[in-house]
Chains A and B, each alone.
Chain A
Amino acid sequence: MSARTHLGEAAVSLGLLAIGAFVLIDTGSIPAAQTYSGVGPRFFPYLVGVGLAVCGALLAWRALAGGWRAMPPDEGVHDRPDWRAFALVSAGVVVQMLAIGHAGFIIAGALLFVLVARGFGSRRLILDGVIGVVLVSVAYLVFTRLLALSLPAGWLSFL
């Protein structure tokens, strides 16, 4: 297995350890209310914090000492990550998040659709856009007409 994989494993383990440490520290700031149970709002967080930290530490140790155990065979799947696709899919979600309030539910959803399809290698942007609009519009109608929930119409509010 590649050294890069082991580095990634170590990073994930340390991330877990960091979350555990954060939980332990942050638990101290939860106001400890007096209760009849004798078990306040801090007890379980402390347990979970310790658990996370111990798992993180053990995993980090294994990653550095030759890699995690019982990993599935890699078969070269992870050798050539396509970060452009990763970025396009991520951009889809982020753009939708930012646009949904102003541009509206349908436009934001269609943008997400186009970006994700592009991330997966589609080149028919216009066709993707049309399919996206149709799909999201159906969801929009279910929400607003059938369930009478209001969703941002945004730039299409004239409809």
Chain B
Amino acid sequence: MDALHALLEGFGVALSLSNLMWGFVGVTLGTAVGVLPGVGPALSIALLLPATSKIDPTGALIMFAGIYYGAMFGGSTTSILLNTPGESATIITAMEGNLMAKAGRAGPALATSAIGSFVAGTLATIALTLVSPIVVDVALKFGPAEYFAVMVLAFTTVSAVLGASPLRGVAALFFGLYLGLMGIDTQTGQARFTFGIPELLDGVDVVVVAVGLFAVGETLYVATYLNRIADRMENFGGKVMMSAQDWARSWKPWLRGTALGFPFGTLPAGGAEIPTFLSYAIERKLTRHPEEFGKGAIEGVAGPEAANNASATGTLVPLLTLGLPTTATAAIILAAFQQYGLQPGPLLFETQPELVWGLIASMYVGNVILLILNLPLVGLWVKLLAIPRPLLYAGILIFATLGAYGLRNSWFDLLLLYVIGLAGFLMRRYDVPVAPVIVGMILGPLAESQFRRALAISQGDLSVFITQPIAAGILLVAALTVLVPPVWRRVAARRAARQR
């Protein structure tokens, strides 16, 4: 097999001492920037680009891929420990992950996240090696109508995050949809709900909202209501490593998360947020421990973490095969290729096989480095939670605010963070779930722009959503997810009644 042979040679490249070192540097650096909200892999790679123009391209690209992975991982560490998601792809992880940490299970949460990332990253890399060309052909078939159908499907699973009261959950969802509307309308360039503030023209960043709701809101709530009552809420006992039961409950979510994340990553408008959210919804539906969701269920960490790592690998598929960047980070990696006079695409596999296969092989290696680097650190990270509460929460706010400020150098972003924090405080006080806000913010703008694009191309003809087979198929699945469970319940109830 040609690909296999090429891959073996790729390993020869990736395992050279200098390339191993670049991989190590990248993963470490990525973990560091992933920890800071607002400072993501795209930004770090962009800023490192000029500095790397003198090192050899294979080494630099291996380092950049390492940054990408590392950032995904660093983001989940702060999500779990501090409820402060560093990246948009790790917001969902914060939900169950931080609850696990509060229940004294930070160790297993971090471990399932690290091992899940490793499993997903490795499996996704294997998929990348074997099926890239086919996957890309399918991905290109997705146009606005198909994407809109995917958004509808995602909306139908939203019930998983609505919480105890569907009405409060839906209210939170609409609040998120409203936040998503702020800024310049993509299709017509009109400003919406910006109050004449230029900073709002670019819209509100979902990471700022997540950090505001989760970290700032939580800090205010704990200070106001919990601090005086109980000296310490968190439970620091518990094991650092995963138990046999944790393993048994994690491996399926890892695989399902990978299966969701990889194809989404290859879609030009897929991204990493939607698969993490879908994975969460699916795990919540499939779990044998539904009572643990909302209190820290390991499936709710294992699935989304696998999904975000698999999608990160998935984005490299269109990048390497077509030269098509599908995320900001991929766009910067493309710029890095071009800096060396390389144009990704089908020709790259022929003209630079050493580089491409070296990069792919280095992704296998990078995943191993990530695991080796992070598993021993889990014990250390968990000790972070033993820091006295005043220092811990002060530290959380430092992380939350500095990342938000660093990007634009604007005090307005800090004000925004605080105002959203106040909303988060009220929501926590009155048991309004915050997750639907995030889901609304992520899905709303995508659904709107794809819907309007599809209709603009068809010149207002609504039938595009049912005459295109892929879109129609997805919409059918969405309709079934809404209709089947209630009908099923009714049938089952009737059957049970008859048996009695």
Contact flag (A, B; Cβ within 8 A): yes
CB distance from A103 to the nearest CB of B (A): 12
Knowing A35-B188, A38-B455, A101-B411 touch, does A120 contact B389 (C-beta < 8 A)?
Answer: yes
On whether the beta carbons of A48 and B451 are closer than 8 Å, the reply is: no
On whether the beta carbons of B168 and A68 are closer than 8 Å, the reply is: yes
Against B, the Cβ 8 Å flags (1 = close, 0 = not) of A84-106 are 01101110111011101100010
On whether the beta carbons of A58 and B167 are closer than 8 Å, the reply is: yes
| A27-84 at interface with B (beta carbon < 8 Å) | 27, 30-31, 33, 35-41, 44-45, 48, 51-52, 55-56, 58-59, 62, 68-72, 77-78, 80-83
Which chain B residues lie closer than 8 Å to A30 at the CB level?
185, 190-192
Knowing A52-B171, A69-B165, A142-B32 touch, does A85 contact B223 (C-beta < 8 A)?
Answer: yes
Which chain A residues lie closer than 8 Å to B395 at the CB level?
113, 135
CB distance from B84 to the nearest CB of A (A): 13
On whether the beta carbons of A143 and B406 are closer than 8 Å, the reply is: yes
Against A, the Cβ 8 Å flags (1 = close, 0 = not) of B168-201 are 1011001101100100010110111100000000
Which chain B residues lie closer than 8 Å to A122 at the CB level?
388, 390-391
What is the size category of the interface that chain A forms with chain B? 35 or more
On whether the beta carbons of B394 and A120 are closer than 8 Å, the reply is: yes
On whether the beta carbons of B394 and A97 are closer than 8 Å, the reply is: no
Cβ of A136 < 8 Å from any Cβ of B?
yes
Against A, the Cβ 8 Å flags (1 = close, 0 = not) of B434-456 are 00000000001000100111111
On whether the beta carbons of A100 and B414 are closer than 8 Å, the reply is: yes
On whether the beta carbons of A93 and B394 are closer than 8 Å, the reply is: no
Which chain A residues lie closer than 8 Å to B452 at the CB level?
35, 37, 39
CB distance from B38 to the nearest CB of A (A): 11
Name the residue of chain A whose CB is nearest to the CB of B224. Answer: A86
Which chain B residues lie closer than 8 Å to A39 at the CB level?
451-452, 455
Partner of B223, one of A16, A71, A82: A82
Knowing A90-B418, A120-B389 touch, does A45 contact B192 (C-beta < 8 A)?
Answer: yes
Roughly how many angstroms separate A93 CA and B225 CA in the complex, as a whole number? 19
On whether the beta carbons of A31 and B397 are closer than 8 Å, the reply is: no
| B225-243 at interface with A (beta carbon < 8 Å) | 225-229
On whether the beta carbons of A149 and B47 are closer than 8 Å, the reply is: yes
Cβ of B398 < 8 Å from any Cβ of A?
yes
Cβ of B479 < 8 Å from any Cβ of A?
no
Roughly how many angstroms separate A81 CA and B287 CA in the complex, as a whole number? 37
On whether the beta carbons of A41 and B188 are closer than 8 Å, the reply is: yes
Knowing A55-B167, A142-B32 touch, does A82 contact B225 (C-beta < 8 A)?
Answer: yes
Name the residue of chain B whose CB is nearest to the CB of A77. Answer: B225
Which chain A residues lie closer than 8 Å to B426 at the CB level?
12
Cβ of A112 < 8 Å from any Cβ of B?
yes
Roughly how many angstroms separate A19 CA and B170 CA in the complex, as a whole number? 15
Cβ of A147 < 8 Å from any Cβ of B?
yes
Which chain A residues lie closer than 8 Å to B431 at the CB level?
68, 71-72
Which chain A residues lie closer than 8 Å to B177 at the CB level?
44, 48, 51
CB distance from A58 to the nearest CB of B (A): 6
Which chain A residues lie closer than 8 Å to B411 at the CB level?
97-98, 100-101
Against A, the Cβ 8 Å flags (1 = close, 0 = not) of B401-437 are 1100110010100110110010000100111100000
Count B interface residues, CB 8 Å: 75
Name the residue of chain B whose CB is nearest to the CB of A52. Answer: B174
CB distance from A87 to the nearest CB of B (A): 9
Partner of B390, one of A23, A36, A117, A146: A117
Which chain A residues lie closer than 8 Å to B223 at the CB level?
82, 85-86, 88-89, 116, 119-120
On whether the beta carbons of B224 and A48 are closer than 8 Å, the reply is: no
Roughly how many angstroms separate A31 CA and B184 CA in the complex, as a whole number? 12
Cβ of B219 < 8 Å from any Cβ of A?
yes
Roughly how many angstroms separate A152 CA and B402 CA in the complex, as a whole number? 12
Knowing A109-B402, A147-B39 touch, does A121 contact B171 (C-beta < 8 A)?
Answer: no
CB distance from B211 to the nearest CB of A (A): 12
Name the residue of chain B whose CB is nearest to the CB of A75. Answer: B229
Knowing A39-B451, A39-B452 touch, does A86 contact B394 (C-beta < 8 A)?
Answer: no
Name the residue of chain A whose CB is nearest to the CB of B448. Answer: A44
Which chain B residues lie closer than 8 Å to A120 at the CB level?
222-223, 227, 389-390, 393-394
Which chain B residues lie closer than 8 Å to A149 at the CB level?
47, 406
Which chain A residues lie closer than 8 Å to B226 at the CB level?
77
On whether the beta carbons of A36 and B398 are closer than 8 Å, the reply is: no
CB distance from A155 to the nearest CB of B (A): 17
Which chain A residues lie closer than 8 Å to B83 at the CB level?
none
Name the residue of chain B whose CB is nearest to the CB of A33. Answer: B188
| A103-159 at interface with B (beta carbon < 8 Å) | 105, 109, 112-114, 116-122, 128, 131-132, 135-136, 139, 142-143, 146-152
Roughly how many angstroms separate A149 CA and B48 CA in the complex, as a whole number? 11
A residues near B (Cβ < 8 Å) are 8-9, 12, 16, 19-20, 23, 26-27, 30-31, 33, 35-41, 44-45, 48, 51-52, 55-56, 58-59, 62, 68-72, 77-78, 80-83, 85-86, 88-90, 92-94, 96-98, 100-101, 105, 109, 112-114, 116-122, 128, 131-132, 135-136, 139, 142-143, 146-152
* A–B pairs, 23, beta carbons within 8 Å: A8-B429, A8-B430, A12-B432, A36-B457, A36-B459, A37-B187, A44-B444, A44-B448, A51-B174, A68-B430, A70-B164, A80-B228, A82-B227, A100-B414, A112-B394, A112-B401, A116-B219, A128-B391, A136-B402, A139-B36, A142-B32, A146-B32, A149-B406
Beyond the given pairs A112-B394, A118-B390, A143-B39, 9 more chain A to chain B contacts, judged by CB atoms under 8 angstroms and listed by A's residue number, are A35-B456, A36-B455, A37-B456, A37-B459, A39-B451, A77-B225, A93-B401, A113-B395, A116-B393
